[in-house]
């Protein structure tokens, strides 16, 4: 099956709409909510309503947090190559993050928890949680990227699971309507016993303890949430309640195959914003980038800029490949981690290098370059750090298990 990573014609209108929103609605309030950390960006309510309307009408082409669902019945094995909801999501998210990453992460009903629900929920759960804003709670005080170390417990008691534990760094943890919580059914059975549960806000025992002050993405709230004898209906467990030791952690980790390309797209969008502005600022300083001349024959700043663009293009293409594979129902765990690793690293490198290239202008708050450098760093950390992604890629390429390659 051939792969074409050109932007699909059917998605161009959606991408253009996302770019207009980023330029005319997100950029103008970007600095405001960077300075007013923890203040809810009320301007997003109107935009969220517009996105909901587009989704209901079908005009959004399945883009957004819920667009990552793979249609199990949508491929007869003979159909043409698809550029579907995953491709629409990563391309539109990149455009929105060209505007502002923190604001994009603050959109109601577009949280990473929504992507998790779309990835693994059954049809009944999809309908029941439709219209909810879902955050995702994985990380705990005792671990960072090692998701298999989850110690939050879920114990079945009659028709309910009783959840106990603490989660940190929960994006949109205060503002969301519900939280997708990773918990273990039996710690002694290891990774295979880890499941995800949807816990609605207002459930007794769920408490938002505090909000974190952060380096970047300040418009997005990041919370610490505790669960104390928190009882949720057993129907809120996503996926099978059975513990399949042979399958191991694969069921829970399948969520990341869909969400990691989204985070890679965020880094791609933020980095492109820096490149676009830096090109303009260099031109104003008399440094023109000439693509018809070798880099070593140009100004040092121009040569550096060309190298940054080349790295950025590699990240963009890997992101599109991971999304394309998801749309065509191909296993993409390797490609999702490759995209996340490359885009996360390139995003930080590009945005910091652009600050350096633009000198005092880049470092000051007169432009958004310094903000994008702060925002981009988290994209190399959450949803699995750079080091974890490289470890996953190595395991896939060498065909080794997590026990064999740590």
Q: Counting beta carbons within 10 angstroms of the beta carbon of residue 208, is it exposed (0 to 12), middle (13 to 18) or buried (19 or more)? A: middle
Q: How many angstroms separate the CA atoms of 185 and 338, rounded?
A: 31
DSSP string, 46-78: HHHHHHHHHHHHTTTTT-SGGGG---TTS--SS
Q: How many angstroms separate the CA atoms of 260 and 319, rounded?
A: 9
Q: Which of 124, 288, 383, 404 is catalytic?
A: 383
SS3 251: helix
Asked if 44 and 108 touch (Cβ cutoff 8 Å), the reply is: yes
Note every long-range contact of 34-41, with CB atoms under 8 Å and residues 24 or more positions apart, other chains counting. 34/102, 34/218, 34/219, 34/371, 35/218, 37/213, 37/214, 37/218, 37/219, 38/211, 38/221, 40/106, 40/175, 40/221, 41/103, 41/106, 41/219
DSSP string, 135-152: EEE--BTTBSS-GGG---
Ranges of H-type helices in 140-284: 250-284
Q: Token digits for 85?
A: 């909801």
Strand boundaries in 219-348, DSSP class E: 222-233, 237-238
Q: How many angstroms separate the CA atoms of 88 and 323, rounded?
A: 9
Active site residue 335: no
Asked if 322 and 336 touch (Cβ cutoff 8 Å), the reply is: yes
Q: How many angstroms separate the CA atoms of 320 and 313, rounded?
A: 11
Q: Token digits for 383?
A: 């949803």
| Short-list 264, 282, 378, CA closest to 324 | 264
Residue positions annotated with a catalytic role: 383
């Amino acid at each position: 099956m051939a792969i074409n990573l050109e932007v699909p014609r059917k998605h161009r209108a959606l991408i253009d709409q996302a770019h207009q929103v980023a330029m005319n609605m997100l950029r103008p309030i970007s600095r405001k909510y960077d300075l007013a950390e923890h203040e809810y960006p009320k301007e997003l309510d109107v935009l969220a309503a517009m996105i909901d309307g587009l989704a209901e009408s079908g005009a959004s082409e399945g883009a957004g947090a819920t667009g990552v669902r793979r249609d199990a019945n949508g491929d007869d094995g003979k159909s043409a190559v698809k550029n579907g909801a995953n491709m629409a999501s990563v391309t539109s998210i990149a455009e929105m993050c060209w505007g502002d990453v923190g604001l994009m992460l603050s959109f109601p009903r577009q949280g990473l928890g929504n992507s998790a629900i779309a990835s693994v929920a059954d049809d009944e759960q999809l309908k029941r949680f439709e219209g909810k804003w879902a955050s995702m709670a994985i990380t705990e005080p005792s671990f960072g990227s090692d998701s298999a170390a989850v110690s939050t417990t879920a114990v079945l008691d009659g028709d309910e699971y009783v959840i106990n534990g603490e989660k940190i760094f929960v994006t949109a943890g205060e503002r969301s309507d519900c939280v997708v919580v990773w918990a273990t059914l039996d710690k002694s059975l290891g990774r295979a016993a880890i499941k995800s549960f949807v816990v609605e806000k207002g459930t007794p025992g769920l408490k938002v303890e505090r909000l974190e002050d952060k380096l970047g993405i300040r418009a997005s709230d990041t919370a610490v949430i505790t669960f104390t004898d928190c009882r949720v209906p057993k129907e809120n467990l996503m996926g099978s309640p059975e513990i399949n030791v042979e399958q191991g952690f694969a069921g829970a980790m399948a969520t990341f195959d869909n969400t990691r390309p989204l985070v890679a797209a965020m880094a791609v969008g933020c980095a492109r914003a820096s490149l676009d502005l830096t090109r303009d600022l260099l031109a104003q300083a008399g440094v023109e980038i000439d693509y018809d001349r070798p880099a070593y024959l140009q100004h040092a700043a121009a040569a550096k800029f060309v190298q940054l663009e080349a790295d950025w293009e590699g990240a963009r293409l890997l992101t599109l490949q991971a999304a394309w594979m998801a749309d065509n129902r191909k296993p993409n765990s390797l490609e999702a981690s490759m995209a996340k690793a490359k885009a996360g690293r390139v995003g930080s490198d590009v945005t910091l290098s652009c600050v350096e290239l633009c000198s005092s202008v880049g470092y000051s708050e007169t432009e958004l370059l310094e903000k994008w450098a702060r925002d981009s760093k988290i994209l190399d950390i959450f949803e699995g750090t750079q080091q974890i992604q490289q470890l996953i890629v190595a395991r896939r390429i060498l065909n080794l298990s997590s026990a064999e390659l740590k």
